[in-house]
């Protein structure tokens, strides 16, 4: 965790070690051997009790794969997800897991790769997998110790793996980036032999040699697909577009829509709309701020037409309760903006889950993605202990929840819940920080058309269009 900005959950220095290899086929415990009785969408104050699972009538919990060693420690938190073919890839503060999801109701562990480093957010492209490391280590490889001999020293950035053999991923190379890599975004190049990574990181860090003030830039890493060991930083664009930035704290997430040559950057104190027609030299189209309601601009999602964008505010950094009765509905929420003329942003509304959570439950809007529903704008989104929400923002001024899944509180002040929730090939996959991989099915006339859209790969921060 950077000391000068709120980053989300506390970054921990994790134990050393590196291992990758096949494991016995470890199948999920079936969450519902058939369709479970539907829970009422109307919740009593405070939500479900500890140990309970509740959901809307149109959502079924079909599977859960609980964490296992070495990913079952008290702070071995599950993080982001990526998808390719019949496989899901789940980040964890201890490394990453490859799942076989050919049968979504019986997902199986293919391999676990022990490679500690916060947060290990993940993306995939062809035979390559990329991990974001945002905690200093003594070297880039998986078996290096955490920490640094001096402030600002040590390694952090992007690790690259070859996943040709999903049962035995192989570490290939690493790229050091200024201030590390909290998250990254995969950006296809004009040449299919090249991809870029937009590396987001917080900062500045006092007295740091690697993260000096002001920190209003992000790193662009160029990856030759056929020679990933040659990956390198090729640019460091200024995200602010101005010299007198009020809060130069870097970006948290950057979501790109390459077909539209657009990106939406959530940069802690600000939101940005970017022109990425030149992938290495993005240009700021507009910068917006919401000082009354937004504390930490966390992530962004375009609608299919790219005429709307949803920004999320991770109020409290994901570690505190912001879905309780004492927090306004416009704080810790998602905000829906119109993209006017493809070049400017106009605020239309806010959305927050309508189920009041207990004061001890960490809850705030977090990672999500579109459901490919022709003619409508529908998202699935994680809310930590607030669970998983499916909501419709077709009417930008009146967003509404249409489905949900939620567990009861962990208790004892523990942090947990859904870190990321994405729709992929007919199901919703949720990375629960402490309970592993959840698989959900939504059965609803409004969302059923999404099942026909079956992409070969999904990195949620790299949006592709679907036919309307």
8 Å CB contact between 436 and 67: yes
The number of residues in the chain equals 468
The rounded average pLDDT for each run of 10 residues, N- to C-terminus, in the chain (468 residues) is 33 32 42 36 58 94 96 94 98 98 98 96 98 93 81 84 98 95 96 97 75 84 98 91 55 96 93 96 94 95 98 95 95 98 96 94 97 98 98 98 96 92 98 97 98 96 95
- Is 466 inside a domain boundary? no
Written as one string, the DSSP assignment of 82-124 is: EEETTEEEEEETTEEEEEE-SSTTS-EEEEEEE---SEEEEEE
Total domain count, the chain: 1
Grouping H, G, I as helix, E, B as strand and the rest as coil, residue 440 is: strand
pLDDT at residue 46, as a whole number:
59
Q: Is 14 inside a domain boundary?
A: no
Residues facing 217 on adjacent strands: 238
Q: Which domain holds residue 27?
A: 19-458
Query: Which among 125, 95, 133 has a CA at the least distance from the CA of 112?
Result: 95
pLDDT at 50: 78
Look at residue 334 in the predicted model and tell me its pLDDT.
98
Residue 354 sits in a domain of what CATH number?
2.130.10.10
Query: Is residue 465 one of the residues assigned to a domain?
Result: no
Domain annotation covers residue 451: yes
Question: Does a structural domain hold residue 395?
Answer: yes
In-domain check, residue 5 = no
Residue 1 located in a structural domain: no
Is the CB of residue 26 less than 8 Å from the CB of residue 65?
A: yes
Distance, in Å, from the CA atom of 330 to the CA atom of 347, rounded to the nearest integer, reads: 12
State how far the Cα of 111 lies from the Cα of 88, in Å rounded to an integer: 11
| DSSP three-state, residue 277 | coil
pTM for the model: 0.91
- 334: in domain: yes
């Amino acid at each position: 965790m950077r000391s000068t900005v709120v980053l989300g959950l506390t970054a921990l220095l994790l134990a050393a070690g590196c291992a990758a290899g096949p494991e016995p086929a470890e199948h999920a415990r079936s969450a519902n051997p058939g369709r479970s009785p539907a829970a009422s969408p109307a919740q009593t104050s405070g939500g479900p009790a500890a140990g309970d699972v509740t959901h809307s009538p149109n959502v079924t919990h079909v599977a859960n794969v609980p964490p296992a060693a070495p990913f079952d420690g008290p702070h071995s938190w599950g993080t982001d997800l990526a998808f390719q073919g019949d496989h899901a890839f789940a980040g964890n503060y201890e490394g990453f897991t490859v799942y076989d999801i050919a049968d979504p109701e019986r997902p199986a562990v293919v391999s676990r790769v022990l490679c500690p480093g916060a947060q290990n957010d993940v993306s995939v492209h062809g035979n390559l997998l990329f991990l974001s490391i945002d905690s200093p280590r003594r070297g880039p490889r998986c078996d290096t110790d955490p920490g640094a001999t001096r402030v600002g020293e040590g390694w952090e950035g992007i690790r690259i793996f070859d996943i040709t053999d999903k049962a035995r991923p192989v570490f290939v190379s690493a790229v050091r980036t200024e201030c590390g890599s909290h998250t990254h975004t995969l950006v296809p190049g004009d040449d299919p032999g090249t991809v870029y990574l937009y590396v987001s990181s917080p900062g500045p860090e006092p007295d740091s040699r690697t993260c000096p003030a002001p920190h209003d830039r992000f790193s662009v890493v160029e990856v030759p697909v056929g020679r990933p060991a040659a990956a390198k930083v090729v640019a460091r664009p200024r995200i602010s577009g101005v010299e007198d930035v009020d809060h130069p704290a870097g970006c948290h997430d950057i979501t790109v829509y390459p077909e539209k040559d657009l990106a939406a950057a959530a940069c802690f104190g600000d939101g940005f709309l970017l022109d990425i027609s030149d992938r290495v030299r993005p240009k700021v189209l507009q910068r917006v701020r919401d000082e009354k309601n937004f504390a930490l601009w966390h992530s962004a999602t375009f609608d299919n037409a790219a005429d709307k964008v949803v920004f999320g505010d991770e109020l409290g950094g994901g570690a505190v309760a912001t879905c309780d009765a004492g927090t306004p509905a416009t704080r810790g929420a998602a905000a829906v903006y119109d993209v006017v003329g493809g070049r400017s942003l106009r605020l239309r509304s806010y959305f927050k889950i309508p189920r009041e959570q207990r004061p001890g439950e960490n809850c705030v809007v977090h990672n999500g993605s579109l459901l490919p529903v022709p003619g409508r704008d529908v998202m699935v989104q994680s809310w930590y202990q607030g669970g998983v929400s499916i909501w419709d923002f077709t009417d930008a001024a009146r967003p509404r929840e249409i489905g949900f899944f939620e567990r009861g509180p962990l208790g004892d002040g523990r942090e947990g819940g859904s870190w990321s929730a994405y729709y992929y090939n007919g199901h919703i996959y949720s990375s629960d920080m402490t309970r592993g991989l959840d698989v959900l099915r939504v059965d609803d006339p409004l969302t059923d058309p999404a099942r026909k859209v079956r992409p070969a790969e999904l990195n949620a921060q790299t949006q592709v269009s679907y036919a309307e």
